[in-house]
């Protein structure tokens, strides 16, 4: 009896081992197929007509999760060759999830990447020859081009600046508000006063989140400099004194102005993203520094009102670069793994991405359901909402500021965001803020 139980225990343990072994095998098999050494496997799959499963990590953004899932379902029904499966993000941050999946040998085929791309560049498929790469607007691929290869598909453009509630601003100016009239800080101040004159309306909601302050508000400082690259390198080398930089002061003076008219002036760190959305949607404030990703929740809260976007002026001279510009950039790229995914999986990934931006069904999801602004030629469906149209107009007129924040180190926005929060809360002044920025950049 005892002997029997020992044998049983050993068998159980051994089966555990083999269980692990089998799991480990799967990705290796994929690898071999990828290398093209075993061709039997590949043809087998095609003959048996079983759809190739292609994985994608996450739903691009949590806000559009449902619409994206529907798009995937529609694609899966539209053809029999490939089946897209979404790997849930489980609330982890993408970099953590991606490294964990890579380390375990189960890398997803399609991923969404931003700054992480440099770290993964040797593992990503060169997308230079794909249809969507050829259709993409010029300049949108700059941040995804590495070692002469285009590794990412620019998914959309987003813009940030001062969002406004058109109805409130029309009332404030007594007529039709024209954002082109706001070209200087003085113009902005007049507008703020006009909004405050309305009953029960404060002028601005200034959100204190570190990503908003650290990545978006600071972007204006970096991208309005005459020589952007030199400015960033100078900060790293410690050769730039921000207190001598005219744009630094102009940029902060506007920030001071917004702070003064802030709905949370008495306790500036009280605001949050949801609060900003509610305040602007319901017309409790006229302006909110944010980006067009907030359009969907704004529209949902108040479908009647229209929301626009306008520049953040940095001086009193309308001619100054940046006073009539908004920040527009590509927030993320779709990339395809070539290290762990088989040839077919890669093909499926490219096919799905192509479908999304070239077929009329895909375009409908892209523009109407997911609210993305297309960055490709030949789009038949165009965004109909006012804010997206405004962003497209700024882009066409070339009145856009580059997203320099894509070039920040990974801890750039949390570090500068924390300093900006101190400034917003009145803990430090312009000089101390300059010192904190300089100290951060010199460490890089």
Partner 1 sequence: MLKEKSRWKKLLSFIQFCFIPLFAFLMIVIIPFISGVFNTFTDFNGIEMTKMVGVENYRKALTDKTFWSTLWLTIQYVLCSVIFTNLIAFLLALLVTSKIKGKHFLRSVFFMPNLIGGVILGFIWQFIFSKFMVYIGDATGIALFQYSWLIDTNKGFWAMVIVSVWQMSGYLMLIYIAGFIGIPKEVLEASSIDGATKIKQLVHIRIPLMIQAFTIAVFLTIKNSFMVYDLNLSLTNGGPYRSTEMITMHIYNEAFLFQAYGTGQAKAVILFVIVAAVAITQVLITKRMEVES
Q: Residue numbers of the site for partner 1 (CB under 8 A)? A: 5-6, 9, 12-13, 16, 93, 95-96, 99-100, 102-103, 116, 119-120, 123, 208, 210, 266-267, 269-270, 409-411, 414, 418-419, 421-422, 425, 427
CB of 318 to partner 1, least distance (A): 35
CB of 310 to partner 1, least distance (A): 28
CB of 393 to partner 1, least distance (A): 35
Question: How far apart are alpha carbons 74 and 286 in whole angstroms?
Answer: 40
Question: How far apart are alpha carbons 161 and 215 in whole angstroms?
Answer: 12
CB nearer to partner 1: pick between 89 and 173: 89
CB of 177 to partner 1, least distance (A): 33
CB nearer to partner 1: pick between 285 and 415: 415
CB of 279 to partner 1, least distance (A): 15
CB of 424 to partner 1, least distance (A): 9
Q: Which letter, b or e, does each residue of 227-254 get, where b requires 16 or more Cβ atoms within 10 Å of its Cβ?
A: eeeebbebbeeeebebeebebbbbbbeb
What is the phi-psi region of residue 256: left when phi exceeds 0, alpha when psi lies from -120 to 50, beta otherwise? Answer: alpha
CB nearer to partner 1: pick between 99 and 305: 99
Question: How far apart are alpha carbons 49 and 19 in whole angstroms?
Answer: 29
CB nearer to partner 1: pick between 63 and 210: 210
CB nearer to partner 1: pick between 211 and 431: 211
Question: What does the block give as tokens for 250?
Answer: 């102009």
CB of 430 to partner 1, least distance (A): 16
CA-to-CA dists, residue 234 to 213, 273, 327, angstroms: 22, 33, 22
Give 13-48 as a DSSP string.
HHHHHHHHHHHHHHHHHHHHHHHTS-HHHHHHHHHH
Rg (CA), the chain: 25
Cβ contacts of residue 356 below 8 Å, gap of 6+? 71, 75, 362, 363, 365, 366
Residue appearing with tokens 């890579």: 102
Question: What does the block give as tokens for 227?
Answer: 């020589």
CB nearer to partner 1: pick between 18 and 93: 93
CB nearer to partner 1: pick between 167 and 422: 422
């Amino acid at each position: 009896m005892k002997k029997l139980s020992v044998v049983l225990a050993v068998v159980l343990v051994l089966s555990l081992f083999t269980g692990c072994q089998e799991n480990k095998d799967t990705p290796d098999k994929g690898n071999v197929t990828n290398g093209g050494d075993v061709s039997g496997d590949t043809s087998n799959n095609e003959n048996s007509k079983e759809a190739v499963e292609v994985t994608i990590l996450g739903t691009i953004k949590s806000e559009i999760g449902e619409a994206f899932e529907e798009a995937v379902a529609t694609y899966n029904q539209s053809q029999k060759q490939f089946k897209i499966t979404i790997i849930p993000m489980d609330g982890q941050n993408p970099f953590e999830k991606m490294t964990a999946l890579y380390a375990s040998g189960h890398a997803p085929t399609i991923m969404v990447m931003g700054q992480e791309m440099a770290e993964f560049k040797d593992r990503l498929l060169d997308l230079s020859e794909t249809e969507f790469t050829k259709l993409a607007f010029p300049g949108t691929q700059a941040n995804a081009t590495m070692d002469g290869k285009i590794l990412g598909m620019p998914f959309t453009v987003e813009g940030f600046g001062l969002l406004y509630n058109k109805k409130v601003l029309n009332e404030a100016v007594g007529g039709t508000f024209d954002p082109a009239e706001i070209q200087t800080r003085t113009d902005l101040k007049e507008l703020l006063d006009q909004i405050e004159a309305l009953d029960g309306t404060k002028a601005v909601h200034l959100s204190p989140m570190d990503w908003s302050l650290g990545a978006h508000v600071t972007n204006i400082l970096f991208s309005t400099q005459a020589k952007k690259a030199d400015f960033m390198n100078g900060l790293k080398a410690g050769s730039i004194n921000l207190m001598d930089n005219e744009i630094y002061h102009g940029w902060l003076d506007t920030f001071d102005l917004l702070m003064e008219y802030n709905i949370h002036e008495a306790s500036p760190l009280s605001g949050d993203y949801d609060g900003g959305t509610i305040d602007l949607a319901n017309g409790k404030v006229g302006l909110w520094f944010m980006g067009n990703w907030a359009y969907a929740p704004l529209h949902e809260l108040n479908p009647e009102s229209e929301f626009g976007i306008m520049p953040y002026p940095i001086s009193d001279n309308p001619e100054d670069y940046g006073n009539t510009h908004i920040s527009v950039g590509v927030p993320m790229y779709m990339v395809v793994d070539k290290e762990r995914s088989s040839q077919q999986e890669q093909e499926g990934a490219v096919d799905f991405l192509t479908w999304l931006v070239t077929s009329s069904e895909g375009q409908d999801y892209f523009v109407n359901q997911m609210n993305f602004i297309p960055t490709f030629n030949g789009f038949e469906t165009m965004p109909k909402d006012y804010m997206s149209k405004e962003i497209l107009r700024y882009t066409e007129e070339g009145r856009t500021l580059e997203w320099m924040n894509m070039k920040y180190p990974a801890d750039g926005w949390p570090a500068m965001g924390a300093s900006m929060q101190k400034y917003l809360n009145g803990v430090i002044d312009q000089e101390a803020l300059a010192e904190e920025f300089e100290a951060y950049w010199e460490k890089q």
